[in-house]
Amino acid sequence: MAKGMREIKRQIKSIQNTKQITKAMEMVAASKLRKSQEAAEASRPYADKIREVIASIAASSSDVKHPMLQTREIKKTGYLIITSDRGLAGGYNANVLRKLMTTIQERHQSADEYAIFVVGRKGRDFMKRRNIAILEQVTGLPDSPTFADIKSVARTAVQSFEEGKFDQLYLLYNEFVNPLTQIPVEKKILPLGEVESDQGNLSNYEYEPSAEAVLDDLLPKYAETLIYSAVLEGKASEFGARMTAMGNATKNASEMISSLTLVYNRARQASITQEITEIVAGANAQG
């Protein structure tokens, strides 16, 4: 009985240590979540302004054509998947990777019909285990990524579309709803098609040397900005998922500690009762 009680006490101590770790990770994730939300919100005005300028130019120059605005026959599709570098984030990575595999199975007959770009170590490792070729990858992103951190993969993906290596480009990432909810989404970003402004009245801009030259510069930047915004959205989702997962782990640890403490107290009570019974039995035998 004493050996069993020591084992229970050791197990309680181990779970208490784990609880301290998960609680600390929950608090860290909550702190990083606030910063990630602020970064995601701060990136929106820039994308909105570029979109407004593009819409204004497209509206004032209806005869302007650009490869990134033209829809063409779909022979090959590009996918840019945004995952995390670390785990312990619940279903954050599994959900978006599952969505990718389902999409590939439904749309494509062979690996020649799609191209993969990956952000995050978890996504890279997932592709390697399944022998899926990766055209470009970025890992080791900081908690607050800048555009420079994902510039290579964003630029390669956009340029590959412009060069005709594939005919459409999709983003797959987790959309942040709240700390408890992150939804894996698929967003088509290329071709851009008809860019419309949310504003009722478009501003008139003076530009030179021509509409085509301005669009040549702005359209790739706009597509890259959409990718960067998705990365920031993914970071907020990652920290929200990790905060929720660690909160659940802390709660489960508390429940396990309570359950084991009850078992320990019962075992201790049984041990004391047995000792009293043995003492009484010994006294009666001597009497």
Domain parsing of the chain, residue ranges: 2-26+245-286, 40-242
pLDDT at 200 over 60: no
Interval 242-259 mean pLDDT? 93
Collapsed DSSP state (helix, strand, coil) of residue 123? helix
Interval 190-208 mean pLDDT? 64
Type of residue numbered 96: V
2-26+245-286 is a CATH 1.10.287.80 domain: yes
Return the pLDDT at 254: 94
Return the pLDDT at 66: 72
Return the pLDDT at 53: 76
Return the pLDDT at 63: 65
pLDDT at 255 over 80: yes
Homologous superfamily of 40-242: ATP synthase, F1 complex, gamma subunit (3.40.1380.10)
Count other C-beta atoms under 10 Å from residue 212's C-beta: 12
Collapsed DSSP state (helix, strand, coil) of residue 7? helix
Interval 228-232 mean pLDDT? 92
- CA–CA distance, 21 with 246 (Å, rounded to integer): 9
Cis peptide before 209 (omega within 30 of 0): yes
- CA–CA distance, 167 with 171 (Å, rounded to integer): 14
Return the pLDDT at 266: 86
- CA–CA distance, 98 with 278 (Å, rounded to integer): 62
pTM: 0.83
pLDDT at 50 over 90: no
With pLDDT > 70 as the criterion, what percentage of the chain qualifies? 89
Give the pLDDT band (50/70/90) at residue 59: low
CB-based contact 175:185 (threshold 8 Å) = yes
Cis peptide before 67 (omega within 30 of 0): no
**Least reliable range by pLDDT among 90-94, 125-129, 219-223:** 219-223
With pLDDT > 90 as the criterion, what percentage of the chain qualifies? 51
Return the pLDDT at 173: 95
